[in-house]
Amino acid sequence: MIKSDLHIHTVLSPCGDIEMTPLNIIRKAKECGIGIIGITDHNSTLNCMEIMRIGNMEGIYVLCGAEITTKEEVHAICFVESIHLGALQFFLEEHIQKIPNNPEIFGYQLAVNENEEVVEEVDYLLINALDITIEQAESFIHSLGGIFIPAHIDKMQNSIYSQLGFMPPSLKPDAVEISGKGVRSNQIAMDRSLEKFNFIRSSDAHYLEDFGCIYTILNPEKLDFNAIRDAIISKSSPPVIN
């Protein structure tokens, strides 16, 4: 049984605090007893590999991915194995609307290394929507053998219900995510179709103090991508939300 937080932003997200660096994130996870973390910057994966590298040294398993913003302005968190991370990054860069970022308004978008040195700065705004639908996003992620989870479905903005009002029957998410304030039974009462999906709860951390008390318990058979994916979708030993 492993405490997991699958929705964490870094300093690469314009809304991510300057202290959300790879080293600080791994240190915070260790401090809080979080064994699996998901890196989900807005529409970019550029900090994933460095955090994975540090996590491997410190005994923290890092799922690499992004928080996609679809054409409908729906947020979804997605993860792929590291060998497919380049394909995901190319897909995101190909489909995002590249409107220039204004760091003084939206914040800096930085890829940094373990020493907190800037290795890249993204000059277009990462919180812009992609030109693809949520169904297209899900199909692409699953074509890579990845994990696709509609984000914070209980929120009144950028959730599948705030933007669409329903769960598309053709969508095949691996689970659905609720926020720290979300109540699973309330969501199911609103839409009975959610009964067939497992739920996870994540911090959606943008600041170091945001994560640690909000998490999901996963029970993977071993610590690798496929086993964690199986634990997320498992019906015999489903995720437990705190």
Quick one: pLDDT at residue 127? 96
Do the beta carbons of residue 65 and residue 43 sit within 8 Å?
Answer: no
Could you report the per-residue pLDDT of 126-139, keeping only the tens digit for each? Answer: 999 999 999 999 99
Specify burial of residue 121 (Cβ count, 10 A radius: 0-12, 13-18, 19+). middle
Quick one: pLDDT at residue 242? 72
Which residues in the chain come in under a pLDDT of 50? none
Domain at 184, CATH number: 3.20.20.140
Do the beta carbons of residue 78 and residue 147 sit within 8 Å?
Answer: yes
Quick one: pLDDT at residue 154? 96
Rg of the chain on CA atoms, in Å:
16
Tell me how far apart the alpha carbons of residues 21 and 140 are, in angstroms, rounded to a whole number: 28
Quick one: pLDDT at residue 192? 94
| Residue 83: both structure tokens together | 């060998």
Quick one: pLDDT at residue 28? 96
Report the predicted TM-score, pTM, of the whole model to 2 decimal places: 0.96
Question: For the chain, what is the domain count?
Answer: 1
Range of the domain at 182: 2-241
**Tell me, what amino acid is at 39?**
I
